[in-house]
């Protein structure tokens, strides 16, 4: 009996889960009666001034969220109870956090932040410092390559998922900074029309193609690469002089006989977190210039440092994570809409959609157990003001509550504007951002129910002075670290993506049927092919 008692006393304590935290229970109580933003005297100028957090080149204004001081204190308590500061330090320090205890998993470090740590070498692990050293080697290689390739005018990126969405979002956001005579193009969809449209308008003699795949075997990318090569071969050009690869060292694409240059990425960088690595770096340095690419990395690195801040009132990514979590887990809102009031950020919501949903769309925790609460929300969005004339009707008067994250800048990028009827276009843009936030929060009473707005529709505003390479880097890092913080609080692994694998396996089975495999090898797939025909 004594031996049994000793075994019990030595057993490790059960790991606390999201629902176990005292702060969670407190927030559940607070959510039963959240602040009423429609009540006269609630949304005041003083509240707008007080409910904000400032960080590197960006600020978050959240007066139009359904929170008060007590809610914010409880959210900060939740962050502390979930040890998010330690988890963030472990991530940026290179500890192995991409794992699920007790089951087979990737079991890796998560070191996308090391790709921009060479400005200020942090106090981190040997692995993190080695990752930074490797990143610097690739950066030097890239700088030399860009200097040595003056005669090319166009670059085509061939990739999919994280190898496409992030780089394209950054490129489009910073087209104003592109070097004269340099353009970028993107091929991701295995639809052959995508490639035909891109290559149909290019001078191939002056075109580079950068093919991105960590494994070197991604089906869509390998297929699109061969299709791309066929255009050069038909034009009588040697592909070796036009094709670059970004891949894992030693992969099938790490082949000097087939590529003009190969740049490396590593297992500790997830695809959706890879845009500031060579995955985006090759295209961005070529089109925007190497110095502007460095500015992007500096902005990201400064926001990474901000994410390590243990004062929650100064930690921008943590506040963004907590406010989103309040809406999702405690107010019961299943989706979040991203509305950039900047046409340059037209593809940014698509990037955040992948970043967030692929990271936190998980139903098991770090112990391999099924969670009993909601994890990642559904992310979607489009630029304002276009979106106001599209789906804002539902957000204002629909039955679903859709929290909104608005992004805006005080100044336009190009500085080309016109005063029309007393105000500039940029002022009109910002006026719409402010007006929508107020309208969603306060609503409108009317005797005509068709003109009534219930209000209490939460939103926050992410504001910067101007969309520059530095600010764009900070914005990317802001959301990367937001997603990580939420995963830490929920106790899930935000850094693998097993959910994409099953579809890939079945797609290969169906593809084999098209290639001549016997129908009995996958009869269900064969039945669908019959119906399509």
Alpha-carbon distances, residue 114 vs 118, 130, 282 (angstroms):
8, 9, 17
Nearest to 315 by CA among 326, 327, 328, 302: 302
The alpha carbon of residue 395 and the mean position of all alpha carbons in its chain are separated, in whole angstroms, by 23
* Three-class SS state of 467: coil
The alpha carbon of residue 295 and the mean position of all alpha carbons in its chain are separated, in whole angstroms, by 19
Alpha-carbon distances, residue 193 vs 156, 197, 213, 344, 503 (angstroms):
15, 6, 21, 25, 23
Cβ within 8 Å of residue 19, ≥6 positions away: 372, 373
Strands 52-55 and 58-61: antiparallel
Q: Which residues pair with 211 in a beta bridge?
A: 158, 245
The helix/strand count (H/E) of the chain reads as 18, 13
Can you tell me the distance from the alpha carbon of 461 to that of 126, in angstroms, rounded to the nearest whole number? 38
With residue 3 as reference, give the H or E element that holds it: helix 2-10
Can you tell me the distance from the alpha carbon of 118 to that of 112, in angstroms, rounded to the nearest whole number? 12
Which of the residues 4, 32, 389, 531 is marked catalytic? 389
Nearest to 346 by CA among 158, 165, 160, 157: 165
Neighbours of 343 (CB within 10 A): 15
The DSSP string of 241-290 is GTEEEEEETTSTT--TTT-SEEEEE-TTS-GGG-TTTHHHHHHHHHHH-H
Can you tell me the distance from the alpha carbon of 74 to that of 26, in angstroms, rounded to the nearest whole number? 7
Can you tell me the distance from the alpha carbon of 41 to that of 479, in angstroms, rounded to the nearest whole number? 32
Nearest to 471 by CA among 353, 340, 355: 340
Structure token digits, residue 259:
């590529």
Q: Per-residue b/e over 95-125, b at no fewer than 16 CB within 10 Å? A: bebbbbeeeebbebbbbbbbbbbeeeebebb
Q: Confirm whether 389 is a catalytic residue.
A: yes
Q: Confirm whether 233 is a catalytic residue.
A: no
Which of the residues 225, 261, 358, 480 is marked catalytic? 358
Nearest to 24 by CA among 75, 86, 72, 70: 75
Alpha-carbon distances, residue 514 vs 50, 121, 226, 529 (angstroms):
62, 52, 19, 9
Which of the residues 49, 363, 504, 518 is marked catalytic? 504
Q: Provide the sign of the torsion angle of the four alpha carbons 17, 23, 26, 30, taken in this order.
A: negative
- Does 385 sit behind a cis peptide bond, omega within 30 degrees of 0 on the bond before it? yes
Q: Confirm whether 136 is a catalytic residue.
A: no
Dmax (CA) of the chain: 88
Instruction: Please give the positions annotated as active site.
Output: 358, 389, 504
């Amino acid at each position: 009996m004594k031996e049994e008692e000793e075994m019990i006393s030595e057993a490790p304590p059960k790991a606390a889960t999201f629902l176990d935290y005292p702060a969670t229970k407190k927030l559940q109580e607070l959510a039963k009666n959240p602040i009423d933003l429609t009540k006269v005297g609630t949304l005041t100028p003083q509240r707008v001034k007080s409910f904000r957090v400032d960080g590197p080149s960006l600020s978050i204004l959240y007066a139009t969220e359904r929170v008060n001081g007590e809610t914010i204190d409880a959210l900060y308590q939740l962050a502390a109870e979930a040890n998010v500061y330690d988890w963030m330090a472990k991530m940026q320090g290179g500890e192995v956090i991409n794992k699920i205890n007790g089951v087979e998993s990737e079991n890796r470090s998560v070191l996308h932040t090391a790709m921009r740590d060479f400005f200020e070498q942090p106090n981190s692990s040997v692995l993190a410092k080695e990752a930074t050293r490797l990143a610097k080697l690739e950066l030097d290689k890239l700088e030399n390559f860009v200097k040595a390739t003056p005669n090319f005018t166009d670059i085509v990126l061939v990739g999919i998922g994280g190898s496409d969405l992030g780089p394209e979002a950054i490129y489009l956001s910073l087209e104003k900074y592109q070097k004269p005579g340099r353009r970028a193009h993107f091929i991701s969809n295995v639809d052959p029309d995508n490639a035909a449209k891109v290559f149909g308008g290019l001078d191939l003699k002056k075109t580079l193609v950068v093919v991105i795949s960590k494994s070197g075997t991604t089906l869509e990318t390998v297929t699109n690469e061969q299709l791309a090569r066929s255009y050069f071969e038909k034009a009588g050009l040697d592909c070796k002089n036009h094709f670059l690869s970004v891949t894992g060292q030693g992969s099938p694409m790490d082949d000097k006989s087939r590529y003009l240059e190969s740049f490396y990425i590593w297992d500790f960088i997830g695809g959706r977190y890879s845009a500031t690595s060579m995955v985006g770096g090759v295209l961005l340095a070529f089109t925007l210039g190497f110095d502007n690419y460095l500015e992007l990395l500096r902005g990201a690195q400064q926001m990474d440092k901000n994410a390590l801040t243990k004062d929650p009132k100064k930690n921008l990514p943590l506040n963004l994570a907590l406010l989103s979590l309040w809406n999702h887990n405690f107010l019961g809102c299943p989706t979040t809409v991203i509305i950039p009031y900047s046409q340059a950020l037209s593809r940014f919501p698509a990037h955040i959609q992948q970043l967030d949903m692929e990271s936190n769309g998980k139903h098991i925790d770090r112990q391999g157990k099924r969670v009993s609460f909601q994890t990642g929300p559904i992310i979607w969005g489009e630029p304002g003001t276009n979106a106001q004339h599209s789906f804002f009707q539902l957000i204002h008067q629909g039955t679903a509550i859709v929290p909104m994250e608005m992004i805006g800048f005080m100044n336009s990028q190009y500085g080309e504007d016109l005063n029309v009827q007393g105000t500039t276009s940029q002022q009109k843009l910002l006026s719409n951002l402010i007006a929508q936030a107020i309208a969603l929060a306060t609503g409108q009473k009317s005797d005509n129910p068709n003109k009534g707005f219930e209000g209490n529709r939460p939103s926050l505003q992410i504001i910067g002075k101007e969309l520059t390479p530095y600010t764009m880097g900070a914005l990317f890092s802001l959301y990367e670290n937001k997603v990580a913080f939420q995963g830490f609080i929920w106790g899930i692994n935000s850094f693998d993506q097993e959910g994409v694998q099953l579809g890939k396996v079945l797609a290969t089975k169906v593809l084999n049927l098209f290639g001549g495999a016997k129908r009995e090898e996958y009869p269900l797939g064969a039945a669908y092919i019959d119906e399509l025909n």
